[in-house]
Structure 1
Amino acid sequence: MKQPDVKLNPQPRMRYEITATVHGAPGPFERIDGHVDYEVSNPACVPMTPVMGATVVPRKRVPVTFTRSGDGRFRGEIYMDYLQDEDYFGQGVCHWAVVGATADFHHREVNFSPAIYKDDILGKRDVVKYFSKKSYEHADNERIDIGANDTSAFNDAAATFSITLHAAERLP
């Protein structure tokens, strides 16, 4: 199946600010960036693949720029309606929806990568992810560390740091 030429919404209005706050990290991060993932929420608008007979739901990843806004605090902006709803396949209008947003904190070869998903964004619920300080200190092997929901996931709960993600709707 041919991937559609996804268009951007010329006037997105559903703007959210994502704030990522680092608590207790053992050192700095070389780079902070991120992305937001979208997917078509109504698969009936997508044709089935000829061989498999399955529907492959289109997805799109859009980069998010995070800027420092205080000590350990970084802000990025996403739009829930950034992609244009349109009839991409001649089977009705495809509606795009946010899956989630991720903040990527890079330290040497490790990407500390907490995510906040659509329901938490819309529900205005903070997401806290915990990371091992040992993971930060032993960052010579390339990997992605998505963290844990609770410090009980670690042998030494005191040797952790956290990243909190918060979403707030902003008027355009």
Structure 2
Amino acid sequence: MDFAPGDPALMLTVLRSAEANLDRNMLLRRVLSLFCTDDDGNQIAIEDGPDLQRRIDSAIANLRLAGLIRITAGDELSITSLGTAMMMAYPLGIDDGVLCSLPAFRNQIYETYAPVVHERHLPNSAYGSGFSAGLDAHRLTENPYPSDSRDHEDWLMGWDEALDQSKREAETLLN
């Protein structure tokens, strides 16, 4: 399921259809009949097509994810008690903001669409050893690791960071 902004009127129509235990065919008929006029009452042409089916499927998926509807064994939509309560609380429609207020929906969206956070690998113990050596004013040539090893580089980074920290502390004391 791709997360796409929902249409509050369509979501409400799906909820009302679930309240009436309609199947998808009856839901489609209801959508086609209800969405044939614009807000001013002008007749508009709406056709059953892939985009409409995608919007309906998305509304059903989002409402199921939020725990407002379920699909019965007979492939009918069924409203949950939470769905009934939400329909009464939001009689003009349910938008994504309302859905995101529900933990089941919010958590699933976050798990599915949150950016992947890569773990930050901390330098090995050689870094800490180098940092301590830098604080203790050891010379750079006292690095105990072979010059072609990762530990050598980590020790140097730690030693250098300790010197930078010492300089920052000294500047702070002078000011």
Give the TM interval when normalised to the shorter protein: under 0.3
Q: Greater relative contact order: 1 or 2 (C-alpha under 8 angstroms, separation 6 or more)? A: 1
Query: Which one has a bigger Cα radius of gyration?
Result: 2
Structure with greater proportional helix content = 2
